[in-house]
Structure 1
């Protein structure tokens, strides 16, 4: 079966329907705070949740966020209690990301709510929220893509890519889902 080839014209990209959620000045202030303070090894871990809250994130108690963590838009982030986010994790939340209580997002993990319509000539957005249910774990260098819910106690193993919902208690490895 022959595949249809889409001739891209990125010049025509509009970003239609995407709302950043805050004015440009707030976006700029966040990027300054992110790059000058939040990601730095010397910035105290106990202040990272405070800084996120100052920019509109809903962050629970006893949340540990290590250095090198990047959050695209704090106002589109909700984190429960007793959550750990490891060094170098990236929360690319063009849409809302919800991290339930007792979750772990390990070193170098990526939560990416953004994508593009592959059949769109102008490559328009095809974004979707991400939800990590309580007790779930996104292991080192794992990726959770847009629109995915990781069920309660589910595990996205090291290096795995979750491109569809993961049932409660399920384990996704780089080789597939196991019970």
Structure 2
């Protein structure tokens, strides 16, 4: 769903941020994922890929999605070859979230693809895309904010908070995330 689709309702009148059709789709997805996907045993990567792709995600046949994940809107999720979403990860993909080849999103990380307009009386949602570059690593319990790009080969350390983009082949950590050092290229 694009940013324009999110604004089909009239945000100035305090209407919902997403149209009814979109909300019904998400309800069907949440029911399907809760009953058939989220709890499944670890080795059933193919089954979880099948469910996600059936709901519009673009998941490589070589990607792995672990159980226990929360994925808000599958059509906005793209995963490259050998990419991984670990257990307990929250993918709040109000806008596109692209995870590159060999990228890893570790356990309980949070990819948050939207924010609110603090100057709007109704705090309307503002979707913003996230890009996780090839060979990047978002470590355990880290947070990637709306509109952020984690560059190719970059690392966001455990519990790090990225509210600004991270350049390729850099290691960042902390809250807010700060440069620790460059990463060896491979």
TM-score range, shorter chain: 0.7 to 0.9
Which residue in 2 is equivalent to 1:128?
128
Q: Distance in 2 between matches of 1:25 and 1:120?
A: 26
Which residue in 2 is equivalent to 1:174?
174
Do the aligned partners of residues 161 and 125 (structure 1) sit closer, same or farther apart at CA in structure 2, a change above 3 Å counting? same
Residue segments in structure 2 that go unaligned for 5+ positions in a row: 1-12, 182-186
Q: Secondary structure at the match of 1:177?
A: strand
Conserved? CA contact 1:110–1:143, under 8 Å: yes
Q: Distance in 2 between matches of 1:117 and 1:15?
A: 14
Which residue in 2 is equivalent to 1:97?
97
Which residue in 1 is equivalent to 2:7?
none
With 137-146 and 114-123 compared, the bigger mean Cα shift is at 114-123
Q: Aligned residue pairs: how many?
A: 166
Which residue in 1 is equivalent to 2:82?
82
With 130-139 and 44-53 compared, the bigger mean Cα shift is at 44-53
Q: Secondary structure at the match of 1:126?
A: strand
Which residue in 2 is equivalent to 1:13?
14
Query: What is the TM-score of this pair, normalised by structure 1?
Result: 0.85
Do the aligned partners of residues 19 and 178 (structure 1) sit closer, same or farther apart at CA in structure 2, a change above 3 Å counting? farther
Following superposition, which runs of at least 4 residues in structure 1 exceed 6 angstroms of deviation?
none
Residue segments in structure 1 that go unaligned for 5+ positions in a row: 1-11
Matches within 5 A, 1:1-179: 13-15=14-16, 18=18, 23-42=22-41, 44-174=44-174, 176-179=178-181
